[in-house]
Chain A
Amino acid sequence: MKKNFSLLSHRAGAAFLAPAAALVGVFVLLPFFWVIFVSFTNRTLLGKTALNPDFVGLANYFQLFDPATFFTRGQFGFSLILTTQFVLLSALVGQALLGLLLAWLMQTIPPALKRIVETAVIAAWILPEVVIGFAWFAFLDYDNGTLNMILRGLGLPAGDFLLQQPFWVIVIFNTWRGAAFSMMLFNSAFASIPPSYFQAADVAGASSWQKFRDIGLPLIRGHVVTDLILITMWTFNVFTPFILTNGGPSYRTELLSIYNYRIAFREFDFGKGAAVGVIIMLINLAFALIYLSFGRKKAKAVQE
């Protein structure tokens, strides 16, 4: 028998892996296959089909993609398009750009100010979602809310934004909530650039904008891609706006995650809910594959 030495034998390694494998298997891998299975049935929470669901083929999917109702509010297509817009505006534009701007500002401003600003941005990110939801509810209140108080103080018209502009509210809300991640990722990316690169540019007489465009940005390109894909995936799956708007008024903020919840746990149509879940997972899969292939390419480039 010829066995290579390693710090952990195969048997010990397998034993070390076992608990995690069991948990991940039951609560991550199994749901993946189960949701596909359920999406082909008419399973419901209550009633006859709860225990003995029938196989209905692609009926749930046909229902979701029914052209007659696809774009109607409260239907799948509407939520899908809404979610796409939500991701584009709040993640790709809002979080990423704001995060990048913040990270760049952090490089130049005095440390005391940096700490304070960072704390505010990170607080928005780490506090529990129900607390944040309530904070925004209070913030946006028509009569007494901080926002309208400021607007009135500036002589601007107040507004009941949760009713008038619910979509823009959740876009701004999500930008505010998640910018910290991008900021920290870009912060650490900038920190990994040797200061001498910027000093050399200083000596050459570059302006702050030129340093950002010619040195900072190109060197953190990889981090930018990582950031964009991660926040896209997270924002695509986010459920937090539910706490602020319940998906309303009249479905105007019903993101795919909230739509899925309503179908499965308010209308108790598990089959259809599962079909929505499958589509969400397919979209996640696409992003994940892009991300992982990019990560592999980067790992290879590092090795070479």
Chain B
Amino acid sequence: MRLSFGQLLARIGFSALAAIIGILFALPLIWFIFAPFNARAELGIAIPDPWTLQNFMTVFGNGFAMRGLLNSLIQSVGGVILVAAAATLAAYALSRSSIPGKSMITYILLLFSSVVSGTAAMVPIFLIVSSVGLMDTHIAVILVFAGGLLPTAMFILRDFIDGIPKTYEESAMVAGASPVQAFFDVALPVIRPGIVVVVVWAFVNIWGSFLIPFILLRSDDLMPSSVAIYSFYSEAGTPIVTLLAAYSLIYSLPVVALYLFVSWKFGFRFFGGIKA
């Protein structure tokens, strides 16, 4: 197709505009490319001279911060397993069984999941957790996240399962499979991409969250990275820039890796709101 001069100009204009917006978005993050590798980093952008891994070495030596990464991992993986398993089973039931009132259940779930936000429910969540004696435990954080993320996870998966032809399971059953066999042999493998989406989504949510562990945890050795990162502030409350930068980078890596994984595997399609 041949473009007229005006169209060409418009294309160049659009590209320039997009590039400028892209740069504006990247600006606050550019600092992270350099500071972690600069032993004398400050809040300004400076090319490291020399490039060094010294900051990372210091961070690796910080037991509390390392413990934070492990805690984040425990809470995220625990929450993800619970969310993925419970949401898959529930979404399958909502999609494939003829339980009376299942559309009502979906409606109520959606309604409550959007009404009861972490912000609105922090007081009762705190009270419930403390009244069952789970205050200051990994389990508390895992359960609260599982409960909070489940409605959306179920909704994403139900949508996904609804889009899968029932003939998969029907053909399996006609061929002699029991409902349980049809679920595990045929349905589950077909649903797997949907489960991956939910796993990634739930992981990113729990990994990055601050408020819930901040409220529910007390002990230093249970704090996830999002809270442990504050150990890189001095007594006076000023940040130790070099270590914070390095730690932030390490802490962000799993999220970035997951993004790259999803983007490579699925071309980062849109999945109805990957973040709540």
A and B touch in the complex (CB under 8 A): yes
* Residues of A participating in the B interface, judged by any CB pair closer than 8 Å: 4, 6-10, 12-14, 16-17, 19-21, 23-24, 26-32, 34-35, 38, 43, 98, 101-102, 105-106, 108-110, 113-114, 116-117, 120-132, 134-139, 141, 143-147, 149-150, 176, 179, 181, 184-185, 187-188, 207-208, 230, 233-234, 237-240, 243, 256-257, 260-261, 264-265, 270, 273-274, 277-278, 280-281, 284-285, 287-289, 291-292
Contact (Cβ within 8 A) B43 A141: yes
Which of B53-61, B88-96, B188-196 is near enough to bind chain A?
A: B88-96
- A280 and B123 in contact (CB under 8 A), knowing A23-B147, A28-B151? no
Contact (Cβ within 8 A) A274 B123: yes
Contact of A284 among B99, B120, B251 (CB under 8 A): B120
Contact (Cβ within 8 A) B86 A127: no
- Chain B residue numbers with a CB within 8 Å of A273 are 122-123
- A257 and B119 in contact (CB under 8 A), knowing A34-B128, A113-B19? yes
Q: Does B255 contact A (CB under 8 A)?
A: yes
- Chain B residue numbers with a CB within 8 Å of A24 are 109, 112-113, 147, 150-151
- Chain B residue numbers with a CB within 8 Å of A234 are 276
Contact of B92 among A8, A35, A239 (CB under 8 A): A8
For A124, give the chain B residue with the smallest CB separation.
B25
Q: Does B239 contact A (CB under 8 A)?
A: yes
Q: Number of A-B pairs whose CB atoms are under 8 Å?
A: 314
Chain A: minimal CB distance from B109 (Å): 7
Contact of A20 among B31, B150, B182 (CB under 8 A): B150
- A129 and B120 in contact (CB under 8 A), knowing A10-B98, A138-B43, A139-B27? no
Per CB-CB distance, the 6 closest pairs between chain A and chain B, nearest first, are: A27-B147, A13-B97, A144-B44, A128-B208, A117-B22, A20-B90
Contact (Cβ within 8 A) B22 A121: yes
Q: Does B47 contact A (CB under 8 A)?
A: no
Chain A: minimal CB distance from B112 (Å): 5
**Apart from A27-B146, A146-B31, 20 more pairs, CB < 8 Å:** A6-B96, A7-B179, A17-B89, A23-B82, A27-B144, A28-B151, A31-B121, A34-B127, A38-B124, A120-B23, A126-B275, A128-B225, A129-B226, A143-B43, A146-B27, A240-B210, A277-B120, A277-B124, A278-B120, A289-B111
